[in-house]
Amino acid sequence: MGIEEIKKYLPHRYPFLLIDKVLEFEKDKRIVAVKNVTSNEPFFQGHFPHFAVMPGVLIVEAMAQSAAVLSLRSLNQVNDGKSVYYFVGIDGARFKRPVVPGDTLVFEVLQTAVKRGMAKFTAVARVDGVVASEAELLCALRPLE
């Protein structure tokens, strides 16, 4: 799945659209997505000027965006402007190595539970097969008021 199809499911746009493509998708189960980290990312100007490191919160956001694509594509729910898939909780977030320009982040997100309109996920971000970050995520599809 390329960037144009991803944009059908997510409302995010540059500079906050944080996944570039989807490599694997298993309905209601699993997604593998990719973010190519480049030196042109706007956050690198301030984080940090002397040693560029991708902020951990943006790595977690990219995992949540991957989870959203998994859920929304599984539901055949495109971005229609009438609802938002919110990132509502995080547990056990760990950051194991810095992510720097030139890295390719590969996100593997597994859906572990769905209950009362909320979905729980286990997410891992890897660079060259090495875990960079991991977390449990909670997301919910909600109508816009």
Q: Write down the pTM of the prediction.
A: 0.96
Partners of residue 50 on adjacent β-strands: none
pLDDT in tens, 57-100: 999 999 999 999 999 999 999 999 999 999 999 999 999 999 99
Q: Which amino acid is at 87?
A: F
Residue ranges of domains in the chain: 3-143
Indicate if 47 belongs to the active site.
Answer: yes
Distance CA 113, CA 40 (A): 37
CATH fold for domain 3-143: Thiol Ester Dehydrase; Chain A (3.10.129)
12, 21, 30, 47: which one is catalytic?
47
- Contact assessment for residue 118 and residue 78, using Cβ atoms and an 8 Å cutoff: no
pLDDT digits (tens, 9 = 90+) for 15-25: 999 999 999 99
